[in-house]
Amino acid sequence: MKRPRIPGTTVGIVANPASGRDVRRLVARGSVFPIAEKCNMIVRLLAALGSTGVERTLIAPDRGGITERLRRATGIGALSELGTQAAFLDIPVEDGPIDTVHAIERMVALGVSVIVVLGGDGTQRLAARACGETPILALSTGTNNVFPEVREATIAGLAAGLVATGRVTTAEGTVRNKMLWVELKGGRQDMAVVDVSICSDVWVGARAVWHPESISQIFVAFAEADAIGLSSIAGLLHPVSRSEACGLRVDLAPLETARAILHAPIAPGLVAPVGIAAVSEFRPGVRQAVRLAQGVIALDGERELAFTAGDQVTVRLDRHGPLTIDVDKAMATAVRNGLFLSEGEIRFDEEGVVHEIGQVGATAGIPDHEGHTGVRGADSRRICHWRDTGVRPSVRW
Protein backbone atom coordinates (compact mmCIF):
# COMPACT_ATOMS: atom_id res chain seq x y z
CA MET A 1 0.00 0.00 0.00
CA LYS A 2 1.58 3.26 -1.15
CA ARG A 3 -0.64 6.32 -0.86
CA PRO A 4 0.02 9.89 -1.98
CA ARG A 5 0.83 12.29 0.82
CA ILE A 6 -2.13 14.02 2.41
CA PRO A 7 -1.21 17.69 2.86
CA GLY A 8 -1.18 18.87 6.46
CA THR A 9 -1.13 15.39 7.99
CA THR A 10 1.46 15.23 10.75
CA VAL A 11 2.36 12.50 13.26
CA GLY A 12 4.63 12.94 16.28
CA ILE A 13 7.09 10.38 17.67
CA VAL A 14 8.44 10.51 21.23
CA ALA A 15 10.97 7.88 22.32
CA ASN A 16 12.31 7.77 25.86
CA PRO A 17 16.05 6.97 25.60
CA ALA A 18 16.14 5.90 29.27
CA SER A 19 13.25 3.41 29.19
CA GLY A 20 14.17 -0.21 29.75
CA ARG A 21 17.34 0.72 31.65
CA ASP A 22 16.38 1.31 35.32
CA VAL A 23 17.46 -0.35 38.59
CA ARG A 24 15.35 -3.46 37.96
CA ARG A 25 18.22 -4.72 35.79
CA LEU A 26 20.13 -5.05 39.08
CA VAL A 27 17.46 -6.08 41.61
CA ALA A 28 15.50 -8.35 39.23
CA ARG A 29 16.21 -9.78 35.79
CA GLY A 30 14.86 -7.09 33.52
CA SER A 31 16.30 -6.98 30.03
CA VAL A 32 17.89 -3.88 28.50
CA PHE A 33 16.11 -2.22 25.58
CA PRO A 34 18.98 -0.78 23.51
CA ILE A 35 19.07 2.58 21.80
CA ALA A 36 19.81 0.87 18.48
CA GLU A 37 16.51 -1.02 18.55
CA LYS A 38 14.55 2.11 19.46
CA CYS A 39 16.08 3.79 16.40
CA ASN A 40 15.19 0.79 14.25
CA MET A 41 11.62 0.97 15.51
CA ILE A 42 11.41 4.64 14.58
CA VAL A 43 12.68 3.94 11.06
CA ARG A 44 10.09 1.17 10.65
CA LEU A 45 7.40 3.53 11.93
CA LEU A 46 8.43 6.17 9.40
CA ALA A 47 8.23 3.66 6.55
CA ALA A 48 4.72 2.60 7.60
CA LEU A 49 3.52 6.18 8.14
CA GLY A 50 4.85 7.18 4.73
CA SER A 51 3.01 4.32 3.05
CA THR A 52 -0.32 5.54 4.45
CA GLY A 53 0.14 9.10 3.17
CA VAL A 54 1.33 10.93 6.30
CA GLU A 55 3.01 14.07 4.96
CA ARG A 56 5.26 14.96 7.90
CA THR A 57 6.59 13.29 11.04
CA LEU A 58 7.99 15.26 13.98
CA ILE A 59 10.49 13.44 16.21
CA ALA A 60 11.29 14.58 19.76
CA PRO A 61 15.00 15.34 20.26
CA ASP A 62 17.06 13.79 23.09
CA ARG A 63 20.58 13.54 24.49
CA GLY A 64 20.51 9.78 25.00
CA GLY A 65 21.68 8.75 21.53
CA ILE A 66 18.46 8.40 19.53
CA THR A 67 18.68 11.79 17.84
CA GLU A 68 22.34 11.32 16.92
CA ARG A 69 21.77 7.91 15.35
CA LEU A 70 18.78 9.14 13.37
CA ARG A 71 20.67 12.23 12.17
CA ARG A 72 23.39 9.96 10.81
CA ALA A 73 20.71 7.95 9.03
CA THR A 74 19.30 11.18 7.59
CA GLY A 75 22.77 12.12 6.37
CA ILE A 76 22.96 9.03 4.16
CA GLY A 77 19.45 9.54 2.84
CA ALA A 78 17.82 6.59 4.61
CA LEU A 79 14.98 8.58 6.17
CA SER A 80 14.28 10.76 3.14
CA GLU A 81 13.31 7.70 1.13
CA LEU A 82 10.61 6.51 3.54
CA GLY A 83 7.76 8.59 2.11
CA THR A 84 7.15 10.97 5.03
CA GLN A 85 9.12 14.16 5.71
CA ALA A 86 10.91 13.46 9.01
CA ALA A 87 12.09 16.41 11.10
CA PHE A 88 13.25 16.93 14.68
CA LEU A 89 11.13 19.08 16.95
CA ASP A 90 12.79 22.39 17.80
CA ILE A 91 12.60 22.41 21.61
CA PRO A 92 15.19 22.57 24.42
CA VAL A 93 16.29 19.24 25.91
CA GLU A 94 16.82 18.85 29.66
CA ASP A 95 17.68 15.13 29.60
CA GLY A 96 14.89 14.03 31.93
CA PRO A 97 11.22 12.99 32.10
CA ILE A 98 10.13 16.58 31.54
CA ASP A 99 11.38 16.27 27.95
CA THR A 100 8.51 13.87 27.21
CA VAL A 101 5.99 16.34 28.58
CA HIS A 102 7.44 19.31 26.69
CA ALA A 103 7.62 17.38 23.42
CA ILE A 104 4.02 16.19 23.60
CA GLU A 105 2.70 19.60 24.63
CA ARG A 106 4.49 21.13 21.65
CA MET A 107 3.19 18.48 19.26
CA VAL A 108 -0.37 19.02 20.48
CA ALA A 109 0.04 22.78 19.98
CA LEU A 110 1.24 22.13 16.40
CA GLY A 111 -1.86 20.07 15.67
CA VAL A 112 -0.42 16.61 15.09
CA SER A 113 -3.05 13.95 14.41
CA VAL A 114 -1.44 11.08 16.36
CA ILE A 115 1.52 10.80 18.74
CA VAL A 116 3.55 7.59 18.87
CA VAL A 117 5.14 7.05 22.30
CA LEU A 118 7.96 4.56 22.84
CA GLY A 119 8.51 3.78 26.52
CA GLY A 120 7.30 1.94 29.59
CA ASP A 121 4.34 2.67 31.84
CA GLY A 122 6.06 5.71 33.36
CA THR A 123 6.66 7.32 29.97
CA GLN A 124 3.10 6.56 28.86
CA ARG A 125 1.77 8.17 32.05
CA LEU A 126 3.54 11.43 31.23
CA ALA A 127 2.27 11.26 27.66
CA ALA A 128 -1.29 10.58 28.75
CA ARG A 129 -1.34 13.61 31.01
CA ALA A 130 -0.06 15.96 28.28
CA CYS A 131 -1.78 14.67 25.11
CA GLY A 132 -5.32 15.94 25.73
CA GLU A 133 -7.63 14.53 23.04
CA THR A 134 -4.83 13.69 20.61
CA PRO A 135 -4.67 9.88 20.24
CA ILE A 136 -1.44 8.18 21.26
CA LEU A 137 0.02 4.94 20.00
CA ALA A 138 1.63 3.36 23.08
CA LEU A 139 4.52 1.04 22.20
CA SER A 140 6.44 -0.88 24.84
CA THR A 141 10.18 -0.29 25.25
CA GLY A 142 10.34 -0.34 29.05
CA THR A 143 10.39 -2.81 31.97
CA ASN A 144 7.01 -3.48 33.60
CA ASN A 145 4.91 -2.71 30.56
CA VAL A 146 1.15 -3.02 31.09
CA PHE A 147 -0.29 0.06 29.42
CA PRO A 148 1.80 0.02 26.18
CA GLU A 149 1.71 -2.89 23.77
CA VAL A 150 4.51 -5.07 22.48
CA ARG A 151 3.97 -4.61 18.73
CA GLU A 152 5.94 -4.79 15.53
CA ALA A 153 6.49 -1.13 14.73
CA THR A 154 5.59 -1.55 11.05
CA ILE A 155 2.08 -2.81 11.80
CA ALA A 156 1.58 -0.30 14.59
CA GLY A 157 2.73 2.47 12.25
CA LEU A 158 0.22 1.42 9.60
CA ALA A 159 -2.60 1.65 12.16
CA ALA A 160 -1.40 5.05 13.37
CA GLY A 161 -1.10 6.35 9.80
CA LEU A 162 -4.59 5.17 8.87
CA VAL A 163 -6.07 7.05 11.82
CA ALA A 164 -3.89 10.13 11.28
CA THR A 165 -4.92 10.44 7.63
CA GLY A 166 -8.60 9.90 8.41
CA ARG A 167 -8.90 6.74 6.34
CA VAL A 168 -9.87 5.06 9.61
CA THR A 169 -11.86 7.41 11.84
CA THR A 170 -11.02 8.06 15.47
CA ALA A 171 -14.18 6.21 16.48
CA GLU A 172 -13.15 3.20 14.38
CA GLY A 173 -9.50 3.04 15.37
CA THR A 174 -9.13 4.21 18.98
CA VAL A 175 -10.31 3.34 22.47
CA ARG A 176 -10.88 5.50 25.52
CA ASN A 177 -8.82 4.49 28.56
CA LYS A 178 -9.39 4.78 32.28
CA MET A 179 -6.96 6.56 34.60
CA LEU A 180 -6.44 7.13 38.32
CA TRP A 181 -6.17 10.52 39.99
CA VAL A 182 -4.28 10.98 43.25
CA GLU A 183 -5.41 14.10 45.10
CA LEU A 184 -3.82 15.72 48.15
CA LYS A 185 -4.99 18.57 50.34
CA GLY A 186 -4.06 21.96 48.95
CA GLY A 187 -4.76 21.10 45.33
CA ARG A 188 -1.79 18.85 44.60
CA GLN A 189 -2.66 16.03 42.24
CA ASP A 190 -1.13 13.57 39.79
CA MET A 191 -2.36 10.65 37.75
CA ALA A 192 -1.57 7.07 36.73
CA VAL A 193 -2.70 4.99 33.77
CA VAL A 194 -2.36 1.57 35.42
CA ASP A 195 -1.81 1.56 39.19
CA VAL A 196 -1.28 3.67 42.30
CA SER A 197 0.64 2.08 45.17
CA ILE A 198 0.75 3.46 48.71
CA CYS A 199 4.12 2.62 50.27
CA SER A 200 5.43 2.93 53.84
CA ASP A 201 8.74 4.45 52.70
CA VAL A 202 9.47 7.90 54.10
CA TRP A 203 11.35 9.18 51.03
CA VAL A 204 11.19 8.69 47.29
CA GLY A 205 14.72 7.29 46.82
CA ALA A 206 15.11 4.87 43.92
CA ARG A 207 11.88 5.32 41.99
CA ALA A 208 11.16 1.70 41.04
CA VAL A 209 9.18 -0.35 43.58
CA TRP A 210 10.13 -4.00 43.93
CA HIS A 211 9.69 -4.78 47.67
CA PRO A 212 6.03 -5.81 48.23
CA GLU A 213 6.50 -5.71 52.02
CA SER A 214 6.68 -1.90 51.81
CA ILE A 215 3.31 -1.62 50.01
CA SER A 216 0.13 -0.95 52.02
CA GLN A 217 -2.42 -0.63 49.20
CA ILE A 218 -2.65 -0.91 45.44
CA PHE A 219 -5.34 0.79 43.34
CA VAL A 220 -5.62 -0.27 39.69
CA ALA A 221 -7.52 1.14 36.72
CA PHE A 222 -7.33 -2.28 35.09
CA ALA A 223 -5.65 -5.56 36.01
CA GLU A 224 -4.82 -8.46 33.70
CA ALA A 225 -3.95 -11.99 34.75
CA ASP A 226 -0.96 -12.05 32.37
CA ALA A 227 0.50 -8.70 33.50
CA ILE A 228 3.95 -8.06 34.95
CA GLY A 229 4.57 -5.57 37.75
CA LEU A 230 2.54 -4.40 40.72
CA SER A 231 -0.78 -4.60 38.87
CA SER A 232 -0.23 -8.35 38.54
CA ILE A 233 -1.14 -8.63 42.23
CA ALA A 234 -4.63 -7.38 41.41
CA GLY A 235 -4.79 -9.27 38.12
CA LEU A 236 -4.11 -12.61 39.79
CA LEU A 237 -6.81 -11.96 42.40
CA HIS A 238 -9.64 -10.39 40.41
CA PRO A 239 -8.96 -9.38 36.77
CA VAL A 240 -10.54 -6.13 35.62
CA SER A 241 -10.53 -5.29 31.90
CA ARG A 242 -9.60 -1.95 30.37
CA SER A 243 -13.23 -1.37 29.38
CA GLU A 244 -14.98 -2.27 32.66
CA ALA A 245 -16.54 0.63 34.53
CA CYS A 246 -14.64 -0.05 37.75
CA GLY A 247 -11.20 -0.27 39.28
CA LEU A 248 -9.82 -2.56 41.96
CA ARG A 249 -8.41 -1.86 45.42
CA VAL A 250 -6.12 -4.37 47.10
CA ASP A 251 -5.17 -3.98 50.77
CA LEU A 252 -1.92 -5.77 51.61
CA ALA A 253 -0.74 -7.21 54.93
CA PRO A 254 2.41 -8.77 56.43
CA LEU A 255 2.77 -12.41 55.44
CA GLU A 256 2.34 -13.62 59.03
CA THR A 257 -1.04 -11.89 59.48
CA ALA A 258 -2.42 -12.01 55.93
CA ARG A 259 -5.73 -13.67 55.11
CA ALA A 260 -4.12 -15.13 51.97
CA ILE A 261 -0.68 -15.25 50.38
CA LEU A 262 -0.34 -14.65 46.65
CA HIS A 263 2.76 -15.31 44.56
CA ALA A 264 2.98 -12.56 41.95
CA PRO A 265 5.48 -11.58 39.19
CA ILE A 266 6.22 -8.07 40.41
CA ALA A 267 9.25 -7.63 38.11
CA PRO A 268 10.89 -9.63 35.29
CA GLY A 269 12.24 -12.82 36.83
CA LEU A 270 11.02 -11.87 40.31
CA VAL A 271 8.03 -13.82 41.68
CA ALA A 272 7.43 -12.78 45.29
CA PRO A 273 4.97 -13.76 48.05
CA VAL A 274 2.47 -11.00 48.82
CA GLY A 275 0.19 -10.90 51.85
CA ILE A 276 -3.44 -10.04 51.02
CA ALA A 277 -5.87 -8.51 53.53
CA ALA A 278 -8.81 -7.46 51.33
CA VAL A 279 -9.90 -6.95 47.72
CA SER A 280 -12.73 -4.69 46.52
CA GLU A 281 -13.98 -2.98 43.37
CA PHE A 282 -14.49 0.78 43.30
CA ARG A 283 -16.47 2.95 40.91
CA PRO A 284 -15.56 6.07 38.92
CA GLY A 285 -15.71 9.32 40.89
CA VAL A 286 -15.76 7.66 44.32
CA ARG A 287 -12.75 8.87 46.32
CA GLN A 288 -10.83 6.14 48.11
CA ALA A 289 -8.99 7.14 51.29
CA VAL A 290 -5.56 5.60 51.94
CA ARG A 291 -4.76 3.70 55.15
CA LEU A 292 -1.30 5.11 55.91
CA ALA A 293 -0.87 8.46 57.63
CA GLN A 294 2.43 9.10 55.86
CA GLY A 295 4.49 7.47 53.19
CA VAL A 296 5.24 7.59 49.46
CA ILE A 297 2.90 7.28 46.49
CA ALA A 298 4.10 5.26 43.50
CA LEU A 299 2.47 5.97 40.15
CA ASP A 300 2.63 3.15 37.61
CA GLY A 301 5.36 1.43 39.60
CA GLU A 302 7.57 4.46 40.29
CA ARG A 303 7.72 6.47 43.53
CA GLU A 304 6.69 10.05 42.85
CA LEU A 305 5.04 11.76 45.85
CA ALA A 306 5.81 11.80 49.57
CA PHE A 307 2.91 12.61 51.92
CA THR A 308 2.18 13.20 55.60
CA ALA A 309 -0.91 12.99 57.81
CA GLY A 310 -2.11 16.47 56.87
CA ASP A 311 -2.23 15.72 53.14
CA GLN A 312 -5.48 13.68 53.26
CA VAL A 313 -4.60 11.54 50.23
CA THR A 314 -7.43 10.09 48.11
CA VAL A 315 -7.50 8.05 44.90
CA ARG A 316 -10.23 8.43 42.27
CA LEU A 317 -11.02 6.48 39.09
CA ASP A 318 -11.72 8.52 35.94
CA ARG A 319 -13.14 6.88 32.81
CA HIS A 320 -12.24 9.85 30.58
CA GLY A 321 -8.58 9.02 30.13
CA PRO A 322 -6.42 9.26 27.00
CA LEU A 323 -7.39 7.96 23.58
CA THR A 324 -5.07 5.23 22.32
CA ILE A 325 -4.75 3.61 18.90
CA ASP A 326 -6.31 0.14 18.94
CA VAL A 327 -4.10 -1.56 16.36
CA ASP A 328 -6.31 -4.65 15.94
CA LYS A 329 -9.45 -2.55 15.58
CA ALA A 330 -7.88 -0.08 13.14
CA MET A 331 -6.40 -2.80 10.94
CA ALA A 332 -9.64 -4.79 10.87
CA THR A 333 -11.53 -1.65 9.81
CA ALA A 334 -8.99 -1.01 7.06
CA VAL A 335 -9.43 -4.55 5.75
CA ARG A 336 -13.23 -4.27 5.77
CA ASN A 337 -12.96 -1.05 3.77
CA GLY A 338 -10.43 -2.48 1.33
CA LEU A 339 -7.75 0.08 2.18
CA PHE A 340 -4.82 -2.21 1.48
CA LEU A 341 -5.73 -2.85 -2.18
CA SER A 342 -5.13 -0.24 -4.83
CA GLU A 343 -7.35 -1.73 -7.55
CA GLY A 344 -9.84 -4.51 -8.24
CA GLU A 345 -12.74 -5.78 -6.20
CA ILE A 346 -13.82 -8.80 -4.20
CA ARG A 347 -17.45 -9.86 -4.21
CA PHE A 348 -19.06 -11.91 -1.46
CA ASP A 349 -22.40 -13.65 -1.28
CA GLU A 350 -24.66 -13.37 1.76
CA GLU A 351 -22.82 -16.19 3.52
CA GLY A 352 -19.46 -14.52 3.10
CA VAL A 353 -18.14 -16.76 0.32
CA VAL A 354 -15.67 -15.16 -2.08
CA HIS A 355 -16.93 -15.37 -5.66
CA GLU A 356 -14.79 -12.99 -7.67
CA ILE A 357 -11.35 -11.38 -7.40
CA GLY A 358 -10.63 -8.71 -9.98
CA GLN A 359 -9.06 -9.45 -13.38
CA VAL A 360 -6.24 -11.81 -12.52
CA GLY A 361 -5.51 -13.54 -15.83
CA ALA A 362 -5.22 -17.26 -16.55
CA THR A 363 -5.05 -19.64 -13.66
CA ALA A 364 -4.32 -22.92 -15.40
CA GLY A 365 -2.46 -25.33 -13.20
CA ILE A 366 -4.18 -24.48 -9.90
CA PRO A 367 -4.78 -27.90 -8.30
CA ASP A 368 -8.16 -29.03 -7.08
CA HIS A 369 -8.46 -30.03 -3.44
CA GLU A 370 -11.00 -29.81 -0.66
CA GLY A 371 -12.03 -26.21 0.00
CA HIS A 372 -10.30 -24.85 -3.12
CA THR A 373 -11.85 -25.29 -6.55
CA GLY A 374 -9.24 -24.65 -9.21
CA VAL A 375 -10.36 -22.77 -12.33
CA ARG A 376 -8.99 -23.15 -15.81
CA GLY A 377 -8.82 -21.15 -19.04
CA ALA A 378 -11.64 -18.78 -19.97
CA ASP A 379 -13.15 -18.80 -16.47
CA SER A 380 -10.10 -17.02 -15.13
CA ARG A 381 -12.01 -14.32 -13.23
CA ARG A 382 -13.51 -16.79 -10.82
CA ILE A 383 -10.43 -18.28 -9.30
CA CYS A 384 -11.51 -19.87 -6.02
CA HIS A 385 -14.14 -20.55 -3.39
CA TRP A 386 -13.36 -20.43 0.31
CA ARG A 387 -15.10 -19.56 3.54
CA ASP A 388 -14.30 -16.15 4.91
CA THR A 389 -14.43 -15.82 8.71
CA GLY A 390 -14.20 -12.09 9.15
CA VAL A 391 -15.05 -9.92 6.12
CA ARG A 392 -18.72 -9.81 5.30
CA PRO A 393 -20.62 -9.24 2.02
CA SER A 394 -20.34 -6.36 -0.46
CA VAL A 395 -16.82 -5.23 0.26
CA ARG A 396 -15.56 -3.03 -2.60
CA TRP A 397 -12.69 -0.63 -3.29
Domain ranges of the chain: 6-177+322-336, 179-318, 344-397
Is the model's pLDDT at 386 over the cut of 70? no
How far does the chain reach from its first CA to its final CA, in angstroms?
Answer: 13
pLDDT (average), residues 67-90 = 77
Among 2-11, 163-172, 220-229, where is mean pLDDT lowest?
2-11
pLDDT at 342: 78
Interval 91-120: pLDDT, tens: 999 999 999 999 999 999 999 999 999 999
Compute the mean pLDDT over every residue in the chain, rounded to the nearest whole number.
Answer: 84
Q: Rounded to an integer, what distance in angstroms lies between the CA atom of residue 219 and that of residue 179?
A: 11
Among 45-59, 139-153, 222-236, 310-324, where is mean pLDDT lowest?
139-153
Quick one: three-class SS letters along the chain?
A: CCCCCEEEEEEEEEECCCCCCCCHHHHCCCCCCCHHHHHHHHHHHHHHHHHHCEEEEEECCCCCCHHHHHHHHHHCCCCCCCCCEEEECCCCCCCCCHHHHHHHHHHHHCCCCEEEEEECHHHHHHHHHHCCCCCEEEEECCCCCCCCECCCHHHHHHHHHHHHCCCCCHHHHEEECCEEEEECCCCCEEEECCEEEEECCCCCCCCECCCHHHEEEEEECCECCCCCCCHHHHHCCCCECCCCCCEEEEEECCCCCCCEEEEEEEECCEEEEEEEEEEEEECCCCCEECCCCCEEEEECCEEEEEECHHHCCEEEEECCCCEEECHHHHHHHHHHCCCCCCCCCEEECCCCEEEEECCCCCCCCCCCECCECCCCHHHCCCCCCCECCCCCCCCCC
pLDDT at 23: 47
Q: Rounded to an integer, what distance in angstroms lies between the CA atom of residue 338 and that of residue 345?
A: 9
More confident residue, 69 or 279: 279
pLDDT at 47: 94
pLDDT at 173: 98
Q: Rounded to an integer, what distance in angstroms lies between the CA atom of residue 15 and that of residue 36?
A: 12
pLDDT band at 157 (very low <50, low <70, confident <90, very high): very high
Is the model's pLDDT at 315 over the cut of 90? yes
Which range is most confident: 29-43, 170-184, 380-394? 170-184
Among 189-198, 205-214, 239-248, 367-376, where is mean pLDDT lowest?
367-376
Give the rounded percent of residues in the chain with a pLDDT score beyond 90: 68
Taking the whole predicted model, whether its pTM rises above 0.85 is answered as no
Q: Rounded to an integer, what distance in angstroms lies between the CA atom of residue 328 and that of residue 111?
A: 25
pLDDT at 91: 96
CB 57 within 8 A of CB 85: yes
Q: Rounded to an integer, what distance in angstroms lies between the CA atom of residue 80 and that of residue 77?
A: 5
Is the model's pLDDT at 168 over the cut of 50? yes
pLDDT (average), residues 147-152 = 94
Interval 321-364: pLDDT, tens: 999 999 999 999 999 999 998 766 666 566 656 555 554 333 33
3.40.50.10330, 3.90.280.10, 3.40.50.970, 3.40.50.300: CATH of 6-177+322-336 = 3.40.50.10330
pLDDT at 2: 61
More confident residue, 143 or 92: 92
Whether CATH 2.60.40 fits 179-318: no
CB 38 within 8 A of CB 20: no
